[in-house]
Structure 1
């Protein structure tokens, strides 16, 4: 899906209560719809995105994917830590990114693109 830049099948593999754990925020983002929005947005933010290595847990329910990319010319490296339930649905998607300059560029760009959604989300909770 990532190499084809087409996440059309993502909803089929997300558990309804999936959680996204951002490298920029302490509080996780819950819900399949939010996870899909974040992953769809980051797919357009990253430039020259490449997965390098894949590590699997012995129980087959977790995978770690090492990647590199650029955001507005800033290079970064990171990992996606993905946990699946018994049915093979994603229940937890956590991202870690380095160095700080790449993380800041990613956070700035994601913030710009997701600001309208986040504002609407905060307004709905008030």
Structure 2
């Protein structure tokens, strides 16, 4: 988890992608089906990093083999709170599962629209 957090805090997207397991599973806060694989998840996280402004972690919690990184950020003018819930392979420290939760709903909707636009899914 340390590699993941350091990469995010440094805004180093390539280091972030390399902190992911090749078969990582990512559960987005705005899509029912998971994204799978380092390349696919990397594409989504690149878009998210372009959308988030003033991103910073506020807390780190551990339990049950998972780490929760609590964060705050902005999407446009909307402030949001969220959690990156991570599971990593203890032998490699590569993230195998990432689930992101965000609130409030208005910010989650703005995030979905902005990331969709970054990925060319909406106009």
TM-score normalised over the length of structure 1: 0.83
Map 1:1-126 onto structure 2 (within 5 A). 1-57=7-63, 61-87=65-91, 88-115=93-120
CA shift, 1:101, in A, is 0.6
CA-to-partner distance for each residue in 1:10-60, whole Å, 9 max, x for gaps?
3432111101100011100111111111122211110111110000125xx
Counterpart residue number, 1:119: none
Shift of 1:72: 1.1
Query: Take 2:18 and 2:52, find their aligned partners in 1: how far apart are those partners?
Result: 23
Q: How far off is 1:82 after superposition? A: 0.6
SS at match of 2:116: helix
Aligned to 1:115, what secondary structure does the other structure show? coil
Q: Larger RCO: Structure 1 or Structure 2 (Cα < 8 Å, ≥ 6 residues apart)?
A: 2
Q: Higher mean Cα deviation, 82-91 or 62-71?
A: 82-91
Task: Please report the RMSD computed on the Cα atoms of aligned residues, expressed in angstroms.
Answer: 1.4
Q: Where does the alignment leave 5 or more consecutive residues of structure 1 unmatched? A: 117-126
Give the C-alpha shift of residue 3 in structure 1.
Answer: 2.3
Number of aligned pairs? 114
Structure 2 stretches lacking a partner, 5+ long = 1-6
